[in-house]
């Protein structure tokens, strides 16, 4: 079989501090669209790629590296994506299936079946949703808020990075549960989205709040029951001084810290004691067994318009590095997706 | 009825930084050993008083104050103690009963029944034990280790302030559970106690370890499952880099931070995420319903010598301030008790 072009996004060097576009190269390699003899892997055509904060940790050299997923200079970077099966050596998948899972930033990838989270059976929502609301970020919001947050009607919820891929859902889940929810974001446009699109009760631009402790006291005079932690650092410190007794803090990420060579110190941890607070880190892949339950919960709500989702779409793999780098300065509005191909 | 002398330990001023003996005065007031007409309170003679780290927070002015328990300059300080009932207006208690609960640092106190945790029924162990192993610190070790720590046989446990009122028990509970347990303390004498008296597998003097991260890696090459947090600050930061997946950190106190006007920053919180760590503050009084179960578990073990307890006894209320101040620099060896009277 003939070889075809396989455009790739390559890590050019290990990253220190904020990633920039020069940390990535676009190269054109070639690939034979045929599985090796006897392979039980799956050959896929990548359609939509997901830009997610955790990817920063895969770009570093040294102890922060997270096992086999970490990137190596000279090789294509990886991440979650939606893809079409070209050829399959594994009984669970066949040619033409649409799947989502962990793939590489290139036009075609050879992946193991273990990298595929699931086949996509429902196609009357945008396929790109499986990089966001119906993919890893959606499951992160669902598992973090419902499983770790244990929300009850009438409780108070604070969400940082609230207009992002995860935060916009946490706010809507909180409202569906009957909670009071406040979100923070970094631009006026995002704050407007939070209030007018996602149904947050209140929202503020953290860049315009010189005293975050005072801001939180204004929005939560009685304190916070659940803080959905996406950012870490100074925000966490201010939250620690504004918690209710038995508060819960699910931690899915600390994006404010990922690009610092030295982490900010969090000073108010002793507040956890008297308030009996549970602070719990989690990795979404531990909760993928709940995915069918999540689809059952969410798909009807998407179709009825009761849960909405905002995406920021970059067209073309060659625009991937710019899109990816942008999420670390909050340039994206909503979930950042890169379209490689539409089918 | 005649008035009698009532020696008291009075807070002379709100405390900033480390408390010193000059922050307290010994005064002699008088008291009528008679309940006011119609009172349902309890008049007690204090026998043993407990010196505990949380008492530091009660000495401060301002937002760190913990409600009604906080001390006021000019008034006697309060804390846990063992006492004999002189007269009772409450049906649960009668003259001659021995009780433990929250009392004041004075010879005689008028307390509400709600301040009494329980009547002491078993008197074939030293009464002073009800300020320690059979009192609040014992319940702290029990609830923190078993309820929040969820230990399993073969797991690895690290305890800071390990020879203190709580730590010496956590180590012994860990050994009873079949765990590997390492403790840290601040003198050679305490380290010897940990290994030779309390059965810790390993112990070290943290003051002689310039690189705590390296020390923990030496004792826990595979990482820590449970960190029983008593100290906070730099120790917590080093532990965060040495945790196993699904580690648990019950936090009952952060003694290293109590006397600082500015708390140390903890920088490694992002380690909680990938390792799915649960960090949980708790207050022992939430677990007092387990006290009968605790006695059933522990009393036989004390009598058989399978659990031991070391106390540091100060004689006389007038030596109370020195004893209390000493726990913040680690001068005590074992549980610090003040004897007011022996019966």
What are the tens digits of pLDDT across the range B240-273? 999 999 999 999 877 777 777 777 888 888 889 8
Q: Three-class SS of residue B124?
A: coil
Task: Supply the pLDDT for residue A223.
Answer: 97
User: HSE-up of A105 (CA within 13 Å, CB side)?
Assistant: 32
Task: Supply the pLDDT for residue B1.
Answer: 63
Q: Which tokens is B272 given?
A: 């909680």
Choose the closest CB to A273 out of B253, B268, B270.
B253
For a pLDDT cut of 90, what percent of chain B falls above it? Answer: 84
Find the range with the poorest average confidence among A140-149, A237-246, B231-240, B259-268.
B259-268
With DSSP H G I counted as helix, E B as strand and the rest as coil, what are the percentages for chain A, rounded to 5?
Answer: 30, 30, 40
The gap from C-alpha B79 to its chain's centroid, in whole angstroms, comes to: 10
**Integer Cα distance of B106 and B89 in angstroms:** 20
**Integer Cα distance of A166 and A136 in angstroms:** 9
Task: Supply the pLDDT for residue A210.
Answer: 94
DSSP for A138-154, written as a single string: HHHHHIIIIIIT---TT
Taking residues B313-329, report their average pLDDT: 96
Taking residues A229-255, report their average pLDDT: 91
> Residue A195: is its pLDDT beyond 80?
yes
Per-residue pLDDT of A278-318, as tens digits, reads 999 999 999 999 999 999 999 999 999 999 999 999 999 99
**Integer Cα distance of A234 and A240 in angstroms:** 10
Show the CA angle centred on residue B334, arms to residues B341 and B100, nearest 5°: 40
Task: Supply the pLDDT for residue A257.
Answer: 74
**Integer Cα distance of B124 and B157 in angstroms:** 32
CB contact under 8 Å between B277 and A278, yes or no, is: no
Q: Three-class SS of residue B219?
A: helix
Radius of gyration of chain A (CA): 20
Task: Supply the pLDDT for residue B258.
Answer: 72
Residue of chain B whose alpha carbon sits nearest to that of A268: B263
Choose the closest CB to B273 out of A253, A264, A267.
A253
Closest-CA distance of chain B to residue A155, Å: 20
Taking residues A197-224, report their average pLDDT: 97
The bridge status of strand A42-50 relative to strand A335-339 is antiparallel
CB contact under 8 Å between B276 and A273, yes or no, is: no
For a pLDDT cut of 70, what percent of chain B falls above it? Answer: 98
Per-residue pLDDT of A30-49, as tens digits, reads 999 999 889 999 999 999 99
Instruction: Choose among A30, A44, A29: nearest CA to A89.
Output: A44
Task: Supply the pLDDT for residue A236.
Answer: 93
pLDDT-derived band at A254 (thresholds 50, 70, 90) equals confident
pTM of the model: 0.89
**Integer Cα distance of A23 and A11 in angstroms:** 6
Q: Residues B131, B153: contact at Cβ < 8 Å?
A: no
Give one word for B38, left, alpha or beta, with left for phi > 0 and alpha for psi -120 to 50. left
DSSP for A216-271, written as a single string: HHHH-TT-EEEEEBSS-HHHHHHHHTTEEEEEEEEES--GGGTT-SSPPPB--TTH
């Amino acid at each position: 079989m003939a070889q075809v072009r396989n455009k790739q996004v390559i890590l050019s060097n290990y990253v220190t501090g904020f990633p920039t576009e020069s940390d990535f190269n676009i190269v054109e390699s070639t690939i034979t669209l045929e599985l090796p003899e006897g392979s039980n892997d799956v050959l896929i055509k990548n359609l939509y790629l997901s830009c997610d904060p955790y990817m920063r940790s895969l770009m570093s050299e040294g102890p922060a590296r997270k096992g086999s997923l970490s990137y190596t200079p000279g090789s294509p970077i990886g991440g979650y994506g939606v893809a079409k099966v070209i050829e399959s050596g594994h009984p669970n998948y066949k040619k033409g299936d649409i799947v989502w899972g962990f793939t590489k930033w290139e036009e075609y990838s050879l992946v193991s079946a273990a990298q595929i989270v699931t086949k996509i059976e429902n196609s009357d929502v945008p396929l790109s949703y499986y990089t966001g609301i119906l993919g890893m970020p959606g499951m992160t919001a669902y598992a973090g808020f419902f499983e770790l947050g244990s929300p009850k009607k009438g409780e108070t919820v604070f969400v940082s990075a609230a207009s992002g891929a995860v935060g916009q859902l946490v706010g809507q889940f909180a409202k569906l549960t009957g909670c009071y929810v406040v979100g923070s974001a970094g631009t006026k446009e995002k704050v407007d989205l939070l209030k007018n699109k996602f149904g947050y009760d209140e929202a503020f631009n953290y860049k315009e709040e010189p005293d975050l402790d005072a801001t939180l006291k204004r929005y939560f005079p009685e304190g916070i029951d659940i803080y959905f932690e996406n950012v870490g650092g100074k925000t966490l410190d201010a939250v620690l001084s504004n918690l209710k007794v038995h508060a819960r803090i699910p931690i899915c990420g600390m994006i404010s810290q990922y690009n610092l060579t030295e982490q900010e110190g969090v000073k108010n941890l002793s507040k956890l004691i008297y308030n009996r607070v549970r602070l719990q880190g989690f990795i979404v892949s531990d909760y993928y067994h709940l995915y069918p339950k999540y689809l059952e919960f969410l798909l009807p709500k998407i179709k009825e318009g009761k849960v909405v989702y905002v995406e920021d779409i970059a067209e073309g793999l060659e625009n991937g590095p710019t899109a990816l780098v942008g999420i670390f300065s909050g340039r994206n509005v909503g979930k950042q997706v890169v379209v490689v191909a539409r089918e």
